[in-house]
């Protein structure tokens, strides 16, 4: 059953109470292997997803499944330590649910991070990519069902789903830090299987630079309700069939760990400028 506006309102009211009246400026969603960044929040207040009415729980390995409210780089932030994915059995609307809840708490800026497979053969495992567009060709999106007009219009524009100024900000932040950064297109696959080599060849023909199992639900809903979004992908592995090696969740987590300092420095710098 699709949600109605009152469902979101109920969740937002509860989250406001549980967080002690948080009014975060930025929502930061942490992808696979990147949850450690929540440990950097000052004066943290934790709220488990299970304590928020209507919210689904995070079941993905290593995703803690809680909000952390507090300060990061001088900004009031809400961090999702672990996100919700469709492969956990959730609809796209359920996966993106927290974005609208935070919007009702006044949040207008969204920083999405993810681990992704690298499709672009000129790039390397460990590279960081700022997302300038995405591809989601198949299946229902998160706005399927009756439109909730309090959030946005029935047919919403996706041309500026990834904010141009934020893309420039990420490039400049990376330059200042001496970190190299790629810019490209993220293609959504529902998972939980990694893609087949043929799917990756198809993705490349279609114009994808990276593939992953998240981000698109949240970015779509954020565009609909007028939030500014920045997406950063850590390319934790070459996508299926490129290196000939077997893909695994362990490789994803290992690369994320190896890149943690670089990635978190970039996230901090970007948040300062958002
Ligand atoms: N495919 C999909 N999702 C991913 C990958 C991948 O290769 N790596 C990390 N997340």
H/E stretch holding 9 reads: helix 5-18
Q: Which residues contact 213 (CB under 8 A, 6 or more apart)?
A: 85, 86, 87, 188, 189, 190, 191, 192
Residue identifier of the C-alpha nearest atom 3 of ligand 1: 212
Task: Provide the token pair at 47.
Answer: 């709220």
Ligand 1 atom closest to the Cα of residue 191 is: 2
Ligand 1 atom nearest residue 214's Cα: 3
% of the chain residues with pLDDT over 70: 99
Tell me the C-alpha distance between 211 and 31, whole Å. Answer: 13
pLDDT of residue 61: 67
Q: pLDDT of 63-117, one tens digit each?
A: 678 999 999 999 999 999 888 999 999 999 999 999 999 999 999 999 999 999 9
**Which residue has the least CA distance to atom 7 on ligand 1?**
117
Taking only the tens place, the pLDDT of each residue in 110-167 is: 999 999 999 999 999 999 999 999 999 977 899 999 999 999 999 999 999 999 999 9
Q: Which CATH superfamily is domain 5-273 in?
A: Nucleoside phosphorylase domain (3.40.50.1580)
For residue 124, give the DSSP letter: -
Task: Give me ligand 1 centre to Cα 209, in Å.
Answer: 12
The structural domains of the chain, with segments of one domain joined by +, span 5-273
Q: Is the CB of 189 under 6 A from ligand 1?
A: yes
Read off the tokens for 200: 């990756």
């Amino acid at each position: 059953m699709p949600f109605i506006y009152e469902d979101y309102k109920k969740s937002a009211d509860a989250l406001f109470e549980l967080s002690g009246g948080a009014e975060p400026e930025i929502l930061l969603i942490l992808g696979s292997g990147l949850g450690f960044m929540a440990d950097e929040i000052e004066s943290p207040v934790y709220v488990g997803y299970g304590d928020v009415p209507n919210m689904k729980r995070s079941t993905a390995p290593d995703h803690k499944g809680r909000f952390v409210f507090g300060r990061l780089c001088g900004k009031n932030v809400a961090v999702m330590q672990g996100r919700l994915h469709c492969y956990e059995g959730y609809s796209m609307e359920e996966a993106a649910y927290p974005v609208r809840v935070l919007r009702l708490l006044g949040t207008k800026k969204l920083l999405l991070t993810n681990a992704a497979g690298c499709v672009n053969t000129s790039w390397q495992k460990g590279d960081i990519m700022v997302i300038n567009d995405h591809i989601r060709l198949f299946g229902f999106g998160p706005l399927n069902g009756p439109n909730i007009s309090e959030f946005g219009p029935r047919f919403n524009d996706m041309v500026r789903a990834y904010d141009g100024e934020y893309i420039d900000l990420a490039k400049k932040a990376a330059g200042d830090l001496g970190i190299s950064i790629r810019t490209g297109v993220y293609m959504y696959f529902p998972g939980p299987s990694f893609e087949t080599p043929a799917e990756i060849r198809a993705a490349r023909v279609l114009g994808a630079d990276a593939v992953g199992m998240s981000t698109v639900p949240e970015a779509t809903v954020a565009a609909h309700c007028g939030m500014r979004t920045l997406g950063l992908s850590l390319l934790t592995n070459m996508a299926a069939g490129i290196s000939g090696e077997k893909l695994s969740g362990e490789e994803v987590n290992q690369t994320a760990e190896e890149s943690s300092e670089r990635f978190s420095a970039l996230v901090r710098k970007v948040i300062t400028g958002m």
